[in-house]
Structure 1
Amino acid sequence: MIGTAETTALLARSSGALRGVTVLDLTRVVAGPYCTMILADMGATVIKIENPGEPDLTREFPPARNDAGTVSSGFFAQYNRNKLAVRLDLKQPEGKALFLEMVENAHIVVENFRPGTMAKLGLGYEVLQAANPAIVYAAISGFGQSGPNTLRPAFDSSAQASGGLWSINGTREEPMRVGTVLGDLAAGLYAAIGTLGALREAERTGRGQLVDVSQQDSILSLTENALVTFTETGKVAEPTGNGHPFVRPYGRFACKDGFVFFGAYTDKFWREACRVFGDAALADDPEIDTMAKRFDDETYRRRVEPVVKRWLGAHTKAELEAMTGDRFPLSPIKTIEEVVADPHIQAREMVVPVHYQGARFDVFGNPIKLSGGTLERNAHAPSVGQHNRQVFREWLGLDAARYDALAAQKVI
């Protein structure tokens, strides 16, 4: 069963597209918390469940503030905003029983343990489904719930390495990891999408399902044309630095005060660039007047690249951004400081305040913009076990004696 109207209403958010949906969040670090953050921002009631003696280690990740011995992490606040938090020891029999009661009244469970961990606790998918046939169970892991590598430990870099992305990023001399935890973030995004799809099916049929998301799979799906190029031609993709394997001009170019991305490679955009930079006649030059001609490596190096370097090298990033406007693709390569100050980013509310244990942190907003709104602005992130009483007494309906006994036993 999905939770009764009475118990669900006790925790229901006041607004949001997912208002009324209750999520039990067993995740930690990035991949899982990012998934549940997306759901929480859209109005789901997300209950973060942490072991009493071993809470999410990102609670102390930098950047962090230490106020009279209380550590407040901006990293944690960013990924755990809009959530409730409870303590619950799943290794104790009473903790398992209590968790199953929560499952009976929830819609979604999300975990990012190594495969098999929940089964060892006696709380695998089959057990949870028996308690609530409509439960949607999302499992995020390095290599997925099946296959020969399923039990291998993994971090983000494991996914970037094993999924092929590391081998095509950087330069031929030095393949490089993408400079963010893309394996974690992509898996979190796919898990959120899969979870919502499964929830829709559960609402229609009353049957939930397992959502199995692998970081390796997620990274492989982000390698653009590398896989199909190999399967079709046998060519193994290599790093292309700041360029593109077959689109030109398209890449990083120097300007007076830094670098910009310039991508005017189509005939339409190339003609616009020629006009903007005062070289209108180049648009009709018979050697480079078509996209196919400009794609030729020798022609590009000899005729096109020197022109683009001359154009861009004569101006600053701000000048180039103002000159090009909406005429063709050109973007300054901005530092995070410049991104935060970007009026467009501000207009899109992509830097928002989040509060955690008395501290305010400015973090990234939600890139999903719903006309009905999302709930990340001025959200709060919870302290360890902050909502024990609200969740266990008010939502789940434990009587005072049982609640006090579980607290005394350090189950909650």
Structure 2
Amino acid sequence: MGALSHIKVLDFTHLLAGPLATQMMGDMGADIIKIERPGEGDLYRRLPPFLNTRINGESPHFLAWNRNKRSLAVDLKAPEARSILLDMAKTIDVVVENFRPGVMERLGLGYDDFAGVNPGIIFCSSSGYGETGPIADRPGQDLLLQGVSGFLSMTGTKGERPTPLGISLADQLCSYHIVYAVLAAVIHRMNTGRGQYIEVDMLRSCLAHQGQELLYTMTLGADFERPASGIGHPGMPAPFGVYKTADGWITISMNPIVRLADVLGLPELAHSDDNTLWTDRDRIHALIEERTIAAPTAEWIKALLGAGLWAGEVNSLGDVVELPQARHLNAFSSYEHPVAGTVHVVNVPVTLSETPGEITRPAPRVGEHSREILRGFGHSDEVIQAWIEAGVIGELEETVPAQTASCAQA
């Protein structure tokens, strides 16, 4: 049984930041009831296909972030929806939403509405820039936050276009802040019986993960400048960076320059002091790369690691899925989806000896569990059918046998 198996969550989230957060809770056993609009569902079901590809018509976006959830399709604008959801809230522990600020309140489903029927409820609002403030109404999409938060200014090479991160990191940092805030509130409620309102935003989540860089900027009044060499971190001296080899790329991190100079066969580097490693880092980067490009990655990794130096390969995702260490850690899994078939996924990324996380449900289809969920809250089939006929509740039209998710290694 998962560590959060006693927690029931109403999930009003969509796209990535909120759904990943609730998926993590679901991985640990929480009962996640995903609220979706009838027919259309989560926007991620309908966005342009990831890499222009769908899996038997299903969106990889949605499949990646919505396992271990049940789907209840509700028209939130229908007058009956509010009473249905607030009635459910009497036995709900957590509500998570990531609409733009004010949307839930206008629907009559804000924190005060939920707390009015359940004072112990924990209500988490997640947004791009916070619930109030001069840019709170802006769209909170990952690329936009990478720019506003300063992430983009730290990547790429001097004088060239800043390079966005290849993953939606701003979204996912926000996800982790949602989870730790909710868990902190759950512990507080266990001790006091009191619920509370939580605000999480992508902007502060990104700022929190630039702690050392922003401390430097604020304390010393100096900004960072990206080096021309594209060294991996604008605040680090040589040899920290990415280097071309004869057949790929390697990373070289912080290392004793004398030992590195010996392995590379660059005696002129051996006497570089800390100031030189900083002021001449572009020249030193070029000098090191003249050596690394002469041999393949595997040779350099063997030589550098053999000398006790910090270095690593630059793997493609195709390399990563075959990485022996990832396989050893059971980092990948799969589940069976009734439409998409076998979906290979990243497994629960932490190991708990007593309450391990697991994948027990595939990502749901829109309204797949509407009747099941509402029956569980005491509503009769006649009442549920009336709501379905009125368009208040949506259900899955196609009947497909329920599938059991698999945690077998992919």
TM over 0.5: yes
What is the aligned counterpart of 1:364 among 346, 362, 366? 346
* Greater mean deviation of Cα atoms: 124-133 or 53-62: 53-62
Q: Matches of 1:45 and 1:150 in 2, distance apart?
A: 31
* Greater mean deviation of Cα atoms: 146-155 or 72-81: 146-155
Letter in 1 for 2:248: G
Task: Give the 5 Å matches for 1:231-270.
Answer: 231-240=218-227, 241-244=230-233, 245-265=235-255, 267=256, 270=257
Any gaps of 5 or more consecutive residues in structure 2? 394-410
Q: Matches of 2:354 and 2:265 in 1, distance apart?
A: 46
State the TM-score, normalized to the length of structure 1.
0.86
Task: Give the 5 Å matches for 1:344-359.
Answer: 344-358=325-339, 359=341
Query: Does the 8 Å contact 1:77/1:356 carry over to 2?
Result: no
Q: Matches of 2:343 and 2:238 in 1, distance apart?
A: 41
What is the aligned counterpart of 1:315 among 295, 298, 319? 295
Q: Matches of 1:374 and 1:83 in 2, distance apart?
A: 17
Letter in 1 for 2:26: A
* Greater mean deviation of Cα atoms: 243-252 or 120-129: 243-252
Say if 1:37 and 1:272 are closer, same or farther in 2 by CA, change over 3 A.
farther
1:140 CA drift (Å): 1.0
Query: Does the 8 Å contact 2:95/2:121 carry over to 1?
Result: yes
What is the aligned counterpart of 2:169 among 157, 182, 186? 182
Matched, 1:404 2:404: no
Q: Matches of 2:285 and 2:385 in 1, distance apart?
A: 73
Task: Give the 5 Å matches for 1:1-40.
Answer: 15-40=1-26
Q: What are the Cα deviations for residues 132-163 of structure 1, in whole angstroms up to 9, with x where unaligned?
A: 11111111111111222222222112211211
Task: Give the 5 Å matches for 1:149-168.
Answer: 149-168=135-154
Q: Matches of 1:44 and 1:228 in 2, distance apart?
A: 37
What is the aligned counterpart of 1:90 among 76, 80, 91? 76
Query: Does the 8 Å contact 1:133/1:207 carry over to 2?
Result: yes
Equivalenced residues, count: 383
Letter in 2 for 1:204: N
Letter in 2 for 1:242: I
1:22 CA drift (Å): 0.7
Q: What are the Cα deviations for residues 193-221 of structure 1, in whole angstroms up to 9, with x where unaligned?
A: 11111111112111111221111111222
SS at match of 1:64: coil
Matched, 1:198 2:179: no
Say if 1:378 and 1:337 are closer, same or farther in 2 by CA, change over 3 A.
farther
* Greater mean deviation of Cα atoms: 54-63 or 398-407: 54-63
Q: What are the Cα deviations for residues 332-384 of structure 1, in whole angstroms up to 9, with x where unaligned?
A: 11111111111111122222213322411212223233233544457411111
Task: Give the 5 Å matches for 1:57-72.
Answer: 57-60=43-46, 61-62=49-50, 63-66=53-56, 71-72=57-58
Query: Does the 8 Å contact 2:250/2:311 carry over to 1?
Result: yes
Letter in 1 for 2:216: T
SS at match of 2:391: coil
Query: Does the 8 Å contact 1:27/1:112 carry over to 2?
Result: yes
SS at match of 2:327: helix
Query: Does the 8 Å contact 2:39/2:366 carry over to 1?
Result: no
Query: Does the 8 Å contact 1:354/1:376 carry over to 2?
Result: no
Matched, 1:337 2:318: yes
Percent of pairs with identical residues: 31
Q: Matches of 2:163 and 2:278 in 1, distance apart?
A: 27
1:322 CA drift (Å): 3.4
SS at match of 1:91: coil
Task: Give the 5 Å matches for 1:270-289.
Answer: 270=257, 272-273=259-260, 276=263, 285=270, 287-288=271-272
Letter in 1 for 2:316: T
Q: What are the Cα deviations for residues 104-125 of structure 1, in whole angstroms up to 9, with x where unaligned?
A: 1111111110010000001111
1:224 CA drift (Å): 4.1
Q: What are the Cα deviations for residues 252-311 of structure 1, in whole angstroms up to 9, with x where unaligned?
A: 01111111111143x3xx4554565577x789x5x23x6x2552423x566x54663355
Matched, 1:386 2:373: no
Say if 1:355 and 1:375 are closer, same or farther in 2 by CA, change over 3 A.
farther
Query: Does the 8 Å contact 1:16/1:44 carry over to 2?
Result: yes
Letter in 1 for 2:330: E
Say if 1:354 and 1:247 are closer, same or farther in 2 by CA, change over 3 A.
farther
SS at match of 2:289: helix
User: Runs ≥4 in structure 1, deviation > 6 angstroms?
Assistant: none
Q: Matches of 2:190 and 2:313 in 1, distance apart?
A: 46
Any gaps of 5 or more consecutive residues in structure 1? 1-14
Q: Matches of 1:24 and 1:379 in 2, distance apart?
A: 17
Once superposed, what is the RMSD of the aligned Cα atoms? 2.3
Query: Does the 8 Å contact 1:352/1:378 carry over to 2?
Result: no
Letter in 2 for 1:400: D
Q: What are the Cα deviations for residues 150-191 of structure 1, in whole angstroms up to 9, with x where unaligned?
A: 222221122112111122222232222222212111111111
* Greater mean deviation of Cα atoms: 367-376 or 241-250: 367-376
Say if 1:365 and 1:242 are closer, same or farther in 2 by CA, change over 3 A.
farther
* Greater mean deviation of Cα atoms: 71-80 or 242-251: 242-251
